[in-house]
Structure 1
Amino acid sequence: MGGEPRGYDDLDVHLDTLKRQGLLYSIDRAIDKDTEMHPLVRWQYRGGIAEADRKAFLFTNITDARGRHYPGARVAIGALAGNRQIYALGMKKPEADIGKAWLEAIAHPIAPRQVATTSCQEVVETGDILSKPGHGLDALPIPISTPGYDTAPYLTAALWFTRDPDNGIQNMGLYRGNLKAPDRLAVMMERSTLAGGGVHWLKYKKRGQPMPVAVALGAPPIVAFVGPQKMPLDCDELTVAGGLAGCPINVVKAKTVDLLVPAESQVVIEGFIDTERLEPEGPFGESHGYMALEEYNFSMRVTAITRRSSYTITSIISQVTPSESSVIKKVAYEPLYLSHLRDALNIKGVVRVSMHEPLTNLRPFVFLIMKKGMPKTEIWRALMGTASLTPAIGKFCIALDEDIDPEDTDHVLWAIAYRSNPQTDTHVVPNRGKGHGPALKGSDIDATMLIDATAKGDYPPVALPKKEYMERARAIWGELKLPPLRPQSPWSGYSLGDWSETWDACAARAAQGDWIANGRRSAAHMSSTAQPQDPARGIPDEDK
């Protein structure tokens, strides 16, 4: 129903693909959604499992803490971005093409196509029955994400649809949703980061009207990927999803509110958000890695729940990163920032943008990889451009050379330690919003630090054996059947400019066992006037 999707898969087809690719654990034993489900998947992220080895989990026998069962319902976790391969399958593109796909989708959006009927409205529940125990939200197997700290089940992978009352443009965002009653939700739409739903709420409040809202669960992955991304206000994210898919996204009109929702969704929750009163919401384990404490947020009254007769709900592993939610953001944020710097600001010397993921959740640390020889003015323009693009991203912006691996924090700290001077190579920009995270005690307004950790000239070589020697040793390692290696950058030495042909020749002789010849060279150039640690440059190589 609703027409066959062209160019994108619904969630069920995507899960079948993951199963065929060996990327899905199907868990058929009874699992308690309130105490066991998220902790089980959490071990995939805190148990030393490499990202490439993570998989999606599909729970088919769901119970809750009261012993209830949910026939006909499944919960998928990690199915959107358990790792980059899973994400790429949802995009239906090779991993290497994802960044380019995002840029092209933003540049060439495709409007959605409205259909008359859809499977997400096979079962419709409205009216007084929504408030009864076992109905409404209480009938859905929504997991508790952080058992022991969260105060309720939360929607974590839900797409929230609102419409600007002034220009009629829809917005789609991914926000956390706190279940409060069978017919009531609380939602956090962060105004400090200009979330579209929060901006619309202010406009409805000014009009003295409640805000219509629709919440899609289990939308097609290619639509779900757009929800967390930071698109400009007045951008209909469904058009960007169409650009990603290369075809219109099928949409259907909701039953009780004037909004269009993805027709291939699994479940849709409809209702109105109160613009006169706010409701305490939380605590909830947030993606910055701390518990978000109870605060006042928006309250939604549910007017309808529609769904497929058999349905799958997606839930996202978030909280302490790395997590599923950070993978979803990282693979899209980085090319967006690179495009901003290279295309919008015309800083062509930016090679790569990388956002630090473990524990910090992408937003605070942004690393810029710069071409060698970039003018200092361009390096600083890139740093400032990074800090100013969006309010919540870029507390620490750091420029690095191409030989530094931004995914290795130790490598980054090495560059900061030896390629930057805190007095001349740092700058603090005041009056930054507090962004996403717990309040910093004693500070109402945050700041941004810019660091130029690029080399300010030539450096001696990296002090590791040259590549050919490391590769030979690695082959011997394998022959000896020693434990598998996971090379860390840098794993071999390389020149950074301050190295002469003479020194290279001396090193080659030493590797061939002829180090005594190098001793003859140095003996011929003893000095009675040099001071300890004076440089010894330009000494010829008589043994050439």
Structure 2
Amino acid sequence: MNDMVKRPQGRSYSDLQDHLSILEKNNLLNTIARSINKDTEVHPLVRWQFCGGIAEDERKGFLFTAVSDSKNRAYDRTQVAVGVLSANPQIYALGMNCSIDQIGKAWIDAIANPVAPRVVDSAACQEIVLTGKDVSDPGKGLEALPIPVSTPGFDVAPYLTAGLWITRDPDTGVQNMGVYRGNLKAADRLCVMMEKATLAGGYVHWTKYRDRNEPMPFAVVLGAPPVVEFLGPQKLPIGVDELTVAGGLAKGPINVVKCRTVDLLVPAEANVVIEGLIDTETLEPEGPFGESHGYMQIEEYNMIARVTAITRRKDAIITSIISQVTPSESSVIKKLAYEPLFLEHLRDRLNIKSVKRVSLHEPWTNLRKFVFVTLERGAAKTEVWRALAGASSLQPAIGKFCVAINEDVNPDNANHVLWAIAYRCNPVDDIQIVNYKSAGHAPRTAASPLESIVLIDATLKVDFPPVALPKREYMENAKRLWAELGLPPLKPESPWFGYSLGEWNDDWDKRASLAAAGDWLLNGLDSAKRARAMREPNVTVSDVLPDGPQSTRATDAKTNL
């Protein structure tokens, strides 16, 4: 893990530069040395690995070391990194300094065991301090930073997409840190969207400063240490200082330094920090911008942030996140953080022990609209509906469609989930619609600003016949044969073999074995003995011969995943 790099004594976490070295050693970083245009080429180039048929575990981070723009400006001593936080789960896990299967535990432990930050006097993020005309003059300030255009052809400006916006509650003094989009407007001005519908921490603070008739101090952190960056998209209760949870992830305090022009603390190892004040009286049109819900966010009035200082490292690296249509880096970073919290909420807080997994559907739906809750077979109906209600209510805008499934259904395969809904759900009994759900992060095109929730029980209520695929031993043998024949490499998708769901018996098993052994004629002789004079076909044999062999309950369904 992160022991691949040497860190200064007393620091338990990697900064961004350390993290990039680790990615390079793990063959997870593409370093692009040729000149690349930040306005037209950076994001489209990285986007291809999310829509070009490249497997998730083959995606990499990109480091652009020679960035230019459409005005032929070169950005000396400032590089741009995209996809280096969560292009795939392995990149994210390296940033967390744990294995992929330990990500959920790491988050739960960190939230339960926060560590207060450590204030330092000097910091790498303040090697260069720019104020006054060095921030406001044309060509300086924000203009001098190589911030990419995320959706060329639709976005109206470069946007901060990985910026951590830090604000402070004026009543309690507790800081909040969240990732919000930032629309560059001028050398010393940008607009920020802090979402009202989901009560973003920054928005809550802004309302308090507004009511005081005071501007709100802010700091935007670019290129933070990964354990700090990962807290930006995380959904924590209002009043929790994300820097303390970052310390929990790091198992040691995060070094922070006081800003030069505002009373806020920022990560000392950041690459760039933008300081300033947010207007609480006047709003300015912001957007359009390509959003993670998969549509362009149309122009809307949002908050004006005026820059008072920019501090930075001498050789800075700016991070930018691929968002827009999912899957994207934005959805990976959220999925890996949110799913453990949903599972912990249902299983531990609500004490629904039959819940085994919670999955937020990623492609195209931005994790927010479809939640799949996996429960063990035979869970009480009351527990199924408690789990669905709990999943739909944990976050204001996550869980428009919540579906309960069993362990034999693969939640990462939407076709498999639809199969369960199609055959295990009777709409009149197994679907509920509940009013009053926040639309959250979505296009504002509906007649009502509120949405409703659909809860679907697609679990097995009775025994079913086996899944109609060859048994496991036959598929495994065929897989060996496939390899011997030199056919293209296989990537098995669940389900890839048949398994019992309860409505099966030993007699049918024996007949299937006879067929596989070439003795199917014996089955024909046996079925001839059971022929009956009947007026209509399509009658189940057990209805005619109720004393025949009875079905046996499934025991191996869960092994199919």
1:422 CA drift (Å): 1.2
In 1, Cα distance between the equivalents of 2:236 and 2:58?
Answer: 31
Match for residue 254 of structure 1?
A: 259
Identity of aligned residues (%): 62
Letter in 1 for 2:485: L
Match for residue 315 of structure 1?
A: 320
Letter in 2 for 1:412: V
CA RMSD of aligned residues (A): 1.2
* Aligned 8 A contact 1:398 1:453 in 2: yes
1:169 CA drift (Å): 0.4
1:5 CA drift (Å): 5.6
Match for residue 90 of structure 1?
A: 95
In 1, Cα distance between the equivalents of 2:392 and 2:333?
Answer: 21
Alignment of 1:44-55 (within 5 A): 44-55=49-60
Match for residue 366 of structure 1?
A: 371
Confirm whether residue 201 of structure 1 aligns to residue 206 of structure 2. yes
Match for residue 468 of structure 2?
A: 463
Letter in 1 for 2:464: Y
In 2, Cα distance between the equivalents of 1:113 and 1:530?
Answer: 85
Alignment of 1:189-338 (within 5 A): 189-338=194-343
2:282 is paired with a residue of what secondary structure? coil
Match for residue 60 of structure 1?
A: 65
Letter in 2 for 1:480: L
Match for residue 404 of structure 1?
A: 409
1:442 CA drift (Å): 2.7
Counterparts in 2 of 1:134 and 1:440: CA distance versus 1, 3 Å: closer
Aligned pair partner of 2:154 in 149, 169, 179: 149
Confirm whether residue 498 of structure 1 aligns to residue 506 of structure 2. no
2:311 is paired with a residue of what secondary structure? strand
Aligned pair partner of 2:538 in 530, 533, 536: 533
In 2, Cα distance between the equivalents of 1:389 and 1:82?
Answer: 26
Alignment of 1:432-443 (within 5 A): 432-443=437-448
Confirm whether residue 75 of structure 1 aligns to residue 109 of structure 2. no
In 2, Cα distance between the equivalents of 1:196 and 1:540?
Answer: 65
1:445 CA drift (Å): 2.0
Letter in 2 for 1:477: W
Match for residue 41 of structure 1?
A: 46
Note the alpha carbon deviations across 1:205-250, whole angstroms, 9 max, x for none.
0001000000100000010001101100000000111111100111
Letter in 1 for 2:287: G
Confirm whether residue 132 of structure 1 aligns to residue 119 of structure 2. no
Note the alpha carbon deviations across 1:156-175, whole angstroms, 9 max, x for none.
00100000000000000000
Note the alpha carbon deviations across 1:289-321, whole angstroms, 9 max, x for none.
100000001100100000000100000000010
For structure 2, the 5+ residue unaligned runs are 1-6, 550-561
1:6 CA drift (Å): 2.5
Confirm whether residue 159 of structure 1 aligns to residue 175 of structure 2. no
In 1, Cα distance between the equivalents of 2:451 and 2:36?
Answer: 43
> Which consecutive aligned stretches of 4+ in structure 1 deviate over 4 angstroms post-superposition?
2-5, 538-541
In 1, Cα distance between the equivalents of 2:360 and 2:246?
Answer: 23
Letter in 1 for 2:11: R
Letter in 1 for 2:387: A
Letter in 2 for 1:180: K
In 2, Cα distance between the equivalents of 1:99 and 1:5?
Answer: 26
Match for residue 119 of structure 1?
A: 124
1:424 CA drift (Å): 1.1
1:365 CA drift (Å): 0.2
In 1, Cα distance between the equivalents of 2:218 and 2:322?
Answer: 24
Aligned pair partner of 1:8 in 10, 13, 19: 13
Under a length normalisation based on structure 1, what TM-score does the superposition of the two structures give?
0.98
Aligned pair partner of 2:353 in 344, 348, 352: 348
* Aligned 8 A contact 1:121 1:308 in 2: yes
Confirm whether residue 521 of structure 1 aligns to residue 526 of structure 2. yes
* Aligned 8 A contact 1:152 1:178 in 2: yes
1:435 CA drift (Å): 1.3
1:361 is paired with a residue of what secondary structure? coil
In 2, Cα distance between the equivalents of 1:343 and 1:154?
Answer: 39
2:177 is paired with a residue of what secondary structure? strand
Match for residue 516 of structure 2?
A: 511
2:245 is paired with a residue of what secondary structure? helix
* Aligned 8 A contact 1:3 1:115 in 2: no
1:19 CA drift (Å): 0.6
In 2, Cα distance between the equivalents of 1:306 and 1:146?
Answer: 27
Match for residue 381 of structure 1?
A: 386
In 2, Cα distance between the equivalents of 1:410 and 1:3?
Answer: 49
In 1, Cα distance between the equivalents of 2:72 and 2:534?
Answer: 88
Match for residue 422 of structure 1?
A: 427
1:135 CA drift (Å): 1.0
* Aligned 8 A contact 1:502 1:540 in 2: no
1:322 CA drift (Å): 0.4
In 2, Cα distance between the equivalents of 1:374 and 1:530?
Answer: 41
2:322 is paired with a residue of what secondary structure? coil
Counterparts in 2 of 1:530 and 1:243: CA distance versus 1, 3 Å: farther
Number of aligned residue pairs: give it: 540
1:349 CA drift (Å): 0.7
Aligned pair partner of 1:339 in 338, 344, 347: 344
1:4 CA drift (Å): 4.4
Under a length normalisation based on structure 2, what TM-score does the superposition of the two structures give?
0.95
* Aligned 8 A contact 1:163 1:171 in 2: yes
1:251 is paired with a residue of what secondary structure? strand
For structure 1, the 5+ residue unaligned runs are none
